[in-house]
Structure formats: structure tokens, C-alpha cells
A and B are shown apart, each in its own frame.
Chain A
Amino acid sequence: MTLLDQVFDIVVCLLLLVLAWRTLSATHLYQSAIFFIAFGLTMALAWVRLAAPDVALAEAAIGAGLLGVLLVDSLRVFARPPETGRDSEPNKPESRDNDVTTSRRRPQFNSAVASVTAGAGCLFLAYVLVAAIHDLPDGGGLTAQAAENLSRSGVEHPVTAVLLNFRGFDTWLEVGVLFLAMLGIFCAGGLVGFSETENPDPPGPLLSWLIRGLAPVMILTAAYLLWLGKLAPGGAFQAGILLAAVGILLRLAGIPLMDRVPRTVIKLGLTFGFGTFLVFGIIALLADKAFLEYPSEWAGEVILLVEAAAAISIGFTAFAFFAYLNSRDQSTGNGDTAGQPRETNPSQ
């Protein structure tokens, strides 16, 4: 650890604190969103410095790719003046900055009481975190055990071995949590809005060209990350987000992907990952083994299959988050459809 290393780490920490503070204290939601994106980027650098490139990769995919576009897209709802239901003009400096104020939406309550409560909560959380660090077992806990059994896991990358084999149960439930989040969004707004697509504009030549160039690259990158998980940082979550990015790209261009795909396929896609885990778990139980225990000679293949299924489900789920919120925005603010919809769907 040289002096320059330390300087870099200190600057990263300071930058994180400033960005976090600015995200919370910004007077405009749009500004907050931009600060949050920058925070995600800096957080990825922090993970890199903590020698956790896997987490940095997830932060790059989710923080930079998915969250940024979700936030900017959701801002349209807040930016719209309530009486007209129309979007405000984001390019005009004054109107945008005056419309999107956080203070307008801040609920009325005693700010001193709130500050004290929040402060006490933060202090308690800090205490719990410090206590947890002190409680960490010496010698890294189960690290030695995991490293010892790495050769039997079917993969060479220790993080993938732990996530998909040794602690496959956790990953299975994580996929389940994502699915529950999806159900929550469906319940909050109804399944109807999901496939409602309007064509805001036909994609211009630049956007069409971009989609033709970028969508295959995204799919290829997803496959690459999925395969890479075997030997290096990569894996199902990152690959899934890249698949979702393809859907988001097409939807932003006004191509109604979700209308073209039958509802059954969407439902299958959403549940595929969770189901595949479950099938392999039950097969293991039937073969008189522990739940989700893979046969050692086939472990690599099984992990790849399960990861591919999980990536497809995560892609569908993340895309559905965006597609649902996006269609909801549009259905409240329609009437501004410019130009002829290039693609019409007679069955709708």
C-alpha cells in the first residue's frame, strides 16, 4: 500500500460522502438523479479498491445501466404539471428547475423530530456495523473451506462457486425476491399496463442505426458474462441486466416488444430461473442428496444451465420493471404522439 494508493482511496471516500450528501440535499429531483448515477460510478471504483471486481461489475450493470434509466424515465411523471397532465420542457433551464423541486413533495412534519429520529437511527446502524466487523471470525470464516472444495464445485472462479454451488440456496431465493418485486409492481398498478405500448415517435435514422449496432453487442456481452462467470467475475445478474438493456433500448425506440411476445412466454420467462433452480433442487432430493446439491462430475454444466435460466428471468424481470413503469407514464400523459406510429398491432 503506497502513499498514492492511500490518497486515491481517501479521495474516493470523500467523493462518495460529497455525492451522497448532494444526492440527498439537491433541490431538484433531476439533479439528485444525476448525483445518484455519479455515486454509483464512484461506488464501483470503491468496490474495485476493495478487491471485489464482481461487485463492481454488478454495480456497473445495475447502477449505471438500469437504475439511471429507470430514474430519468420516472422523472417524467414528477416533471409534469398536475393541472395539464403534460410533460414540462426539460431543455429550458428555468421551467425544469422550477418544476422539479423536492420541497414541494416533502410531507409536512416536525423537521427537528425527524432529524433527531433519523440521526439516532443512523448512529444505531453505525454501531451495529462496527459491532459486526468486530464479530467477524479471524482467518476469514469459511474462506479456507470454500477454497479447499473449489475443485469440486465445477467452476474455477470462487465467487461463482460460492454463489451458485455452495450457497446456491441463497441465490435461488434472491431470484425469488426479484420475482416478488415484480409481482409487487404488478399488484400496485395492475397487469394491464404491462403490455400497453404507445409509439411516441418512430425511431429516427440515428436511433435505428444504434439499435442495429448495439442490441447484438448487448446480447453478445450478456452471453460472454454468463460464460465468463466460470473463470472470472461475471455471472447471471450482470448478464440478465444486459439482456434487459436490449428490451429497454427497443422500448425507448417505441418498438412494442412486449406486444409481440405472447403473454404466456412473458410469464414463463419471469418464472424460468426460479423454476430451473427448483427442478435441479428436487432432482437432487430424489437422488438422495441435499437440496440443490449438484453431482460433482456434472456440476459445471448444471451451474451454467441454472445461471442461463436465472439470467433470462432476471432480464425479463428487470425489463418488466422498466416496461411497466414506462407504460404507466405514457398512459397518463398521452395525446402527444407525434408522427405516424410506424408499427401498429392489429390484435390490440
Chain B
Amino acid sequence: MNSFYMALSIFLLLNIAAALVRVIRGPTAADRLMTAQLFGTTGMAILLVLAEAMDEPALRDVTFVFAVLAILIVICFVRTAGEADASRNTDAS
């Protein structure tokens, strides 16, 4: 069972590596942010699998902290983009 968990986490880790292409290629900032969020999700999955594989329940707390804080950067990005939209509108008028 342990090796199954490790194989699973290696697979998830390779997913992160593959997703790096999206950060490099973009094309938009939103795509890149989306990728970072999915990194976070995959990373949390890895942490949960490792919590079983390494028999370390504290990793679930680490996952929880990741999950609670992940939304901040999205809100920051969206609010920034909103401001940019507003400034573009005032420029046009």
C-alpha cells in the first residue's frame, strides 16, 4: 500500500512539472495564475497522500493552511484586474 501511495504522489508531482509549460507559455496572466492555483491543489493532494504514506498526520494541517490561504492571491489578482479595468474605462471616456 505504501508503494502505491508513493507512486501516486510521484504521478501528481510529474503533473506539476508538466503544468509548468502553461506558466511559461501563458499566454495571459490569468492562465498563469490559474496554473499556480492548480499547483496548489495538486500540492495539497500530494501532501494528503504523503500524510498516509509517511504516517505523518501533521501534514493534514499543512494542507489545511494551504487551502485556507490559497484564495488570497486570487482575490488580489481579481481586485487588481478590476482596478485596471476601471482605469481603462476612464481613459476611454
| Residues in chain A within 8 A of chain B (CB atoms) | 2, 4-5, 7-8, 11-12, 15, 18-19, 22, 30-31, 34-35, 37-38, 41-42, 44-45, 48-49, 51, 53, 56-57, 60-61, 64-66, 68-69, 72-73, 75-76, 86-93, 96-97, 200-201, 207, 210, 214, 217-218, 221, 225, 228, 232-234, 238, 241-242, 245, 248-249, 252-254, 333, 335-338
Contacts and interface: CB of A to CB of B under 8 A. Distances in A.
User: For chain B, what secondary structure do more than half of its interface residues adopt (helix, strand, loop), or is it mixed?
Assistant: helix
Interface in B63-93: 64-66, 68-73, 75-77, 79-91
B74 to A, nearest CB: 9
B59 A53 contact: yes
A92 B31 CA distance: 11
B75 A93 contact: no
15 contacts: A2-B2, A11-B10, A31-B26, A34-B36, A37-B39, A45-B46, A49-B50, A51-B54, A53-B56, A60-B65, A90-B29, A93-B26, A96-B28, A336-B87, A338-B89
Contacts of A89: 84-85, 88
Contacts of B85: 89, 338
Given A15-B16, A44-B62, A72 B73 contact: yes
Contact of B90 (A49, A64, A91, A335): A335
B32 A4 contact: no
Given A34-B23, A34-B36, A254-B79, 9 more contacts: A4-B10, A8-B9, A34-B33, A37-B73, A48-B50, A72-B77, A73-B76, A93-B28, A242-B68
Contacts of A51: 54, 56
B78 to A, nearest CB: 8
Contacts of B28: 90-93, 96
Contacts of A7: 6, 10
A16 to B, nearest CB: 11
Contacts of B13: 8, 11-12, 15, 45
Contacts of A254: 79
Contacts of A335: 87, 90
A69 B76 contact: yes
A218 B89 CA distance: 35
B2 to A, nearest CB: 8
Given A91-B28, A93-B26, A64 B54 contact: no
B68 A245 contact: yes
A60 B72 contact: no
A34 B38 CA distance: 12
B72 A249 contact: yes
A73 B58 contact: no
A76 to B, nearest CB: 5
- Kindly list the 9 A-B residue pairs having the minimum CB-CB distance in the complex, ordered from nearest: A65-B69, A4-B6, A338-B86, A336-B87, A93-B27, A53-B58, A87-B84, A68-B73, A41-B43
B36 A38 contact: yes
Contacts of A19: 20
Nearest to A54: B58
B50 A30 contact: no
B80 A72 contact: yes
B17 A15 contact: yes
A45 B43 contact: yes
B76 A201 contact: no
A293 B16 CA distance: 47
B69 A64 contact: yes
Contact of B76 (A72, A217, A241): A72
Given A11-B13, A37-B36, A336 B24 contact: no
Interface string B29-56: 1101101100110010011001000101
A256 to B, nearest CB: 14
Nearest to B75: A252
Looking at B16, B65, B73, the one whose CB has the most chain A CB atoms below 10 A away is: B65
A66 B27 CA distance: 26
A225 B82 contact: no
Contacts of B3: 2, 4
Which interface residue of B35, B50, B68 has the most chain A CB atoms within 10 A?
B68
